[in-house]
Structure 1
Amino acid sequence: MSRIFTRIIDYSLLLIAGTVLALVWANLDHDSYETVAHALEFVVNDIGMAFFFALAAKEVFESTLPGGALSSPRESAVPILAAVGGMAVPAGIYVIMVHLSGLPELARGWAVPCATDIAFSYMVARVLFPAGSPAIPFLLLLAIADDAMGLVLLASFYPQKAFSIVWFAGPLVVALAIAWWLRRRRVRSFWPYVLLAGTCSWIGFHEGGIHPALALVPIVPFMPHRMMDLGIYEPTEEHGADTLSQFEHWWKVPVQVVLGLFGFANAGVQLAAMGAGTAIVVIALVVGKPLGIAGFTWLAERCGFRRAHGLSWGDIMLLGTVAGIGFTVALFFAIAAFPAGDLLDQVRMGALLSFIAAPIALLLAMVRRLVPGREPRAASAEE
């Protein structure tokens, strides 16, 4: 049973189950679904998702430590620039299509196709690429950079209400002071950081107009941590004795439960809601991601940087397609960008249908294998 539960957690099956349940319920009895989903929205979106973004921030922060994927500017330059392209081009395609469609009310959702769902993209990439392929660490590095920039976009462009510098800065300064004091006192438990500093930060974000789901992000770097990064999804990380690793280990399962509830509370869209916004989001993600990632990788090489040895242009287009799976973060951006209504439903459906990037990537991988004269990469390619 423990092995089955581990698979459920590792493959985010709770999120998928919550999403499917929401879609079925919303299309069978929309009114009762809305009643239940509305009751969950605040607790899940504003409180529970704070721990999801905290774990994302943890990966970003550790990647900047010595040995981390973002610690060397020269080594990380290509995937970081690729991530910029993977956000800029989809956003550009979205804006252009909104303009051409004559639907300016959709313009607020320009950041929705900027998102990459790191968990699902990683799972698909493991199926498509052989062990030892440099494409997988490239995708993970790109997704980490995407997460970091996504946090900035969410905080900067999607305030929940009018921004108040006093309400935001006051509690946040108190929160950072508490976190700094706890660090100085060498407090090893993560609970004081979450309950004391995290609560003050959440109040500041909520009352100041910044989405409170980001409240734990500035607290994460203060938790005691190892001095070097072992690597994302490294098995030995789970057994780390440092506070930050223990925080991740403890919250890994609860966050998956939160994601299941998030999928249930936010993915209940009636199939009749599909419209122009749906098509625009899907096209921006599925077309814009590979074009942006490949284009900015080419630009990085023109600037003198080099992609990993053994990483072909075919690999880049393939992993760019995989990165078009927006799902979780795309849903979150949609909810932040639009009030409840038809527009939100259209864009949410687009975020859900971005899963079409997975079978497209699988088809492209099969076509590549059938191309004559294509030399297989060495399994020992540098990562």
Structure 2
Amino acid sequence: MYRVWNYVTNYSILLVVGAALALIWANVDAQSYRHFVEYPLWFNNFAGVDTAYWMENYAGNFGIDSIGDVERVITPHYLVNDVLMAFFFAVAGKEVWEAVILKNGALRGKKAATPLVATLGGMLGPVVVYLGLAYFVFGSETYDALARGWAIPTATDIAFSYLVGRIVFGAGHPAVRFLLLLAIADDAAGLIILAVFYPSGDLAPFMLLWSLAAAVAVFVLFNWLPRKLDKGNQLRIRSTWVREKLSFWPYLLAGCVSWWAFQKSGLHPALGLLPIVPTLPHADRAFGIFSEAEQYLTDLLNHTQNLLKHPVEIILFLFGFLNAGVEFGAIGAPTWAVLAGLLTGKPAGIFLFGWLAAGPMRLGLPAGMRMADLLVIGCVAAIGFTVSLFVASVAFPTGQIQDAAKMGALFSFGAALLAIIVGKLTGVRKQGG
């Protein structure tokens, strides 16, 4: 009941299928693939890609010369990356929130100290390797072109890393839980990086006041106030009525306002639901990161996550389908920079900082885990894929550099083979669970 195997495999399968179909289509007929990805679904003044950018880069493919006085256009790529992926990041944000706020949360206390320090190394290492390779090997001109993509190799794909970790260590090995802690902390840092370093437009921070107002309003009216009115009443009449009659709808409405505010503020709108996640009533008990046991909890936060499970699986399929369609001819310097950052910088950073935390800092390792396991964990965590693809899509404009960087993210699956080999060489003993 407490295993996460079914959870992550369900999230992984459709994503891989979507990415594989995109690769095939793009390498059979790249023009028709891009035609599909950037097809104009709706010209409007509310949301979408800036029409000036779209007209310059894609309008000719559709025989469109003029669209009148319209500011934005929604394409399949925008719909998935900027709108629907907000639900994926909300699910990830929910896990981070619970891991931090709940009494037994996975990222609280000494048990999380070494993974958190290792996470820092797992982010700094790839950046150093990526930028160093771009500057000292490819030259200053290439460095200038690639520098904006420094965050691409910092990502760790939770689902795929967990699957490979299970293969290498076995379900019962303490290194698997260490890996999950590291991966969720990595995702939390990745969300911050996306918000701070990759705005989607001109910054207008004051617009975030709308997001804050929506979060405060929905929390006070539909979470705090019913509980306040029910104080001393064991039947919890008002809270029950709000839970049964209104469910998640007030929070979805607040999420729409927050998403709109993020878009207007210049921050990436895919992060727009994150301020609303903490406002949902949540359980007081933490079962662990992505634990299947959470499906049996009745609090609104976990109930909403369960409702999102299958929609998010489809969203990840669409994400893979609309982002992984890269021609193999696009392989170039960005590919090798991203791949080197992931396959060498990630393991080196995790091992070095993990050793510092466990040894000189005296934070220790989980019982049954060796120092050599840190290196293997670093190799497993080098699978960037989902978040690396996402960062590549926002770091670079559509074109050769973005495609080459995405290819590096796709090739990071090679970290699975590297992890298996390093696991064998370091004498990892699989433990059932």
Both structures adopt the same fold (TM-score exceeding 0.5): yes
- Matching of residues 261-300 of structure 1 within 5 Å: 261-300=318-357
Query: Does the 8 A contact of 1:290 with 1:319 survive in 2?
Result: yes
1:167 CA displacement: 2.2
1:190 CA displacement: 4.9
Query: Does the 8 A contact of 1:89 with 1:291 survive in 2?
Result: yes
**71, 95, 98: which one pairs with 2:134?**
98
Q: 1:83 and 2:119 equivalent?
A: yes
1:171 CA displacement: 4.1
Unpaired stretches in structure 2, ≥5 consecutive residues? 1-5, 39-74, 227-238
**281, 295, 314: which one pairs with 1:257?**
314
- Matching of residues 196-211 of structure 1 within 5 Å: 196-211=253-268
Q: Point out the structure with max Rg over C-alpha.
A: 2
* 1:120 counterpart residue number: 160
1:168 CA displacement: 2.7
1:67 CA displacement: 1.2
**353, 361, 366: which one pairs with 1:308?**
366
Query: Does the 8 A contact of 1:134 with 1:311 survive in 2?
Result: yes
Write the deviation string for residues 89-147 of structure 1: whole angstroms up to 9, x where unpaired: 10111111111212111000000000000000001111111232110000000011101
Query: Does the 8 A contact of 1:205 with 1:214 survive in 2?
Result: yes
Write the deviation string for residues 190-245 of structure 1: whole angstroms up to 9, x where unpaired: 53244211011001100110001111111111111101201123222112101111
1:169 CA displacement: 2.3
Q: How many angstroms apart in 2 are the aligned matches of 1:193 and 1:114?
A: 35
The TM-score with structure 2 as length reference comes to 0.82
* 1:66 counterpart residue number: 103
For 1:268, give the aligned amino acid.
G
Larger mean Cα displacement after TM superposition, 85-94 or 170-179? 170-179
Q: How has the CA–CA distance of structure 1 residues 193 and 156 changed in structure 2, closer, same or farther, with 3 Å as cutoff?
A: farther
Runs of 4+ in 1 over 4 A off after TM superposition: 6-9, 376-380
- 1:217 partner SS: coil
Q: How many angstroms apart in 2 are the aligned matches of 1:9 and 1:297?
A: 28
**170, 178, 184: which one pairs with 2:218?**
178
For 1:77, give the aligned amino acid.
A
**196, 202, 205: which one pairs with 1:156?**
196
Q: How many angstroms apart in 1 are the aligned matches of 2:180 and 2:87?
A: 20
* 2:87 counterpart residue number: 51
1:377 CA displacement: 8.1
Q: How many angstroms apart in 2 are the aligned matches of 1:378 and 1:243?
A: 35
Q: How has the CA–CA distance of structure 1 residues 234 and 167 changed in structure 2, closer, same or farther, with 3 Å as cutoff?
A: closer
* 1:18 counterpart residue number: 18
Q: How has the CA–CA distance of structure 1 residues 179 and 245 changed in structure 2, closer, same or farther, with 3 Å as cutoff?
A: same
For 2:94, give the aligned amino acid.
K
For 2:168, give the aligned amino acid.
L
Larger mean Cα displacement after TM superposition, 164-173 or 133-142? 164-173
Larger mean Cα displacement after TM superposition, 252-261 or 166-175? 166-175
Q: 1:335 and 2:371 equivalent?
A: no
Q: How many angstroms apart in 2 are the aligned matches of 1:378 and 1:18?
A: 32
Query: Does the 8 A contact of 1:27 with 1:269 survive in 2?
Result: yes
* 1:363 counterpart residue number: 421
Write the deviation string for residues 327-364 of structure 1: whole angstroms up to 9, x where unpaired: 00000111110100111011010011010000111122
Larger mean Cα displacement after TM superposition, 304-313 or 259-268? 304-313
Q: How many angstroms apart in 1 are the aligned matches of 2:134 and 2:99?
A: 36
Query: Does the 8 A contact of 2:95 with 2:290 survive in 1?
Result: no
- 1:12 partner SS: helix
1:367 CA displacement: 2.9
Q: How has the CA–CA distance of structure 1 residues 143 and 257 changed in structure 2, closer, same or farther, with 3 Å as cutoff?
A: same
How many percent of aligned residue pairs carry the same amino acid?
Answer: 44
**253, 258, 274: which one pairs with 1:217?**
274
For 1:76, give the aligned amino acid.
A
Q: How many angstroms apart in 2 are the aligned matches of 1:175 and 1:330?
A: 29
Q: 1:347 and 2:383 equivalent?
A: no
Query: Does the 8 A contact of 1:175 with 1:197 survive in 2?
Result: yes
Q: How many angstroms apart in 2 are the aligned matches of 1:18 and 1:216?
A: 24
For 2:256, give the aligned amino acid.
T
1:181 CA displacement: 2.1
Unpaired stretches in structure 1, ≥5 consecutive residues? 1-5
Q: How has the CA–CA distance of structure 1 residues 94 and 142 changed in structure 2, closer, same or farther, with 3 Å as cutoff?
A: same
Q: How has the CA–CA distance of structure 1 residues 87 and 75 changed in structure 2, closer, same or farther, with 3 Å as cutoff?
A: same
* 1:29 counterpart residue number: 29
* 1:320 counterpart residue number: 378
- 2:348 partner SS: helix
Q: How many angstroms apart in 2 are the aligned matches of 1:216 and 1:10?
A: 23
Aligned Cα RMSD in Å? 1.8
Q: How many angstroms apart in 1 are the aligned matches of 2:430 and 2:325?
A: 43
Write the deviation string for residues 238-279 of structure 1: whole angstroms up to 9, x where unpaired: 121011111111111110110010001011110000000000
Query: Does the 8 A contact of 1:168 with 1:209 survive in 2?
Result: no
Q: How has the CA–CA distance of structure 1 residues 377 and 32 changed in structure 2, closer, same or farther, with 3 Å as cutoff?
A: closer
